[in-house]
Amino acid sequence: MKQNVLFYILFFLLSALGGMLPSVSSAQVAEPANEDREGIRKFYYPGGELFGEGRLKDGEPDGYWKYYFENGQLKSEGKLVNRQKEGTWFFYHKNGQVEYENFYQNGLREGPQCNYNKSGTLLSMQYYADDKFVRRDENSSFERIAKPILNVASFLICFLP
């Protein structure tokens, strides 16, 4: 029972911190049976559409997770460690383009957040330290330099052990 409460708290925290995840109340999250406490699992909206999928370890979210809009389009994706966001997380517009990407350390935003419009053009970068807003840079010449660097860094952070 305690782990179920922690699981619900995780989804609440993710929606509050990320701002892009649906609330637990809109998703049908069932208590995992003992044999379903390990491995890749899927959770569904009440209408049957996929809400999220990812790895459970000892009944807790651990590893790479993806969340979806009710229309089936990818909403966000990233790694969870100890029930907290870790590394680069991507959040998407309903048309499938990246809306923004954040870097998390121990569940807190850290470093740049890149913000994109619905066609994928970099609009601005916001900087965070310990999940607190530091400053914002509007799109200018940094798009030609920063975007390729951030994409390589995001790839390395997400996919290297």
Contact call for residues 63 and 52 (beta carbons, < 8 A)? no
85-130 tens-digit pLDDT: 999 999 999 999 999 999 999 999 999 999 999 999 999 999 999 9
Q: Which H, E and C letters describe the chain, residue by residue?
A: CHHHHHHHHHHHHHHHHHCCCCCHHHCECCCCCHHHCCEEEEEECCCCCEEEEEEEECCEEEEEEEEECCCCCEEEEEEEECCEEEEEEEEECCCCCEEEEEEEECCEEEEEEEEECCCCCEEEEEEEECCEEEEEEECCCHHHHHHHHHHHHHHHHHHCC
57-61, 124-128, 141-145, range with the lowest pLDDT: 141-145
**Statement: residue 154 has pLDDT above 60:** no
Task: Give dist(CA 25, CA 22) in Å, integer.
Answer: 8
Structure confidence at residue 143 (pLDDT): 47
CATH of region 2-159, choose from 3.40.50.11540, 3.30.420.40, 3.40.50.970, 2.20.110.10: 2.20.110.10
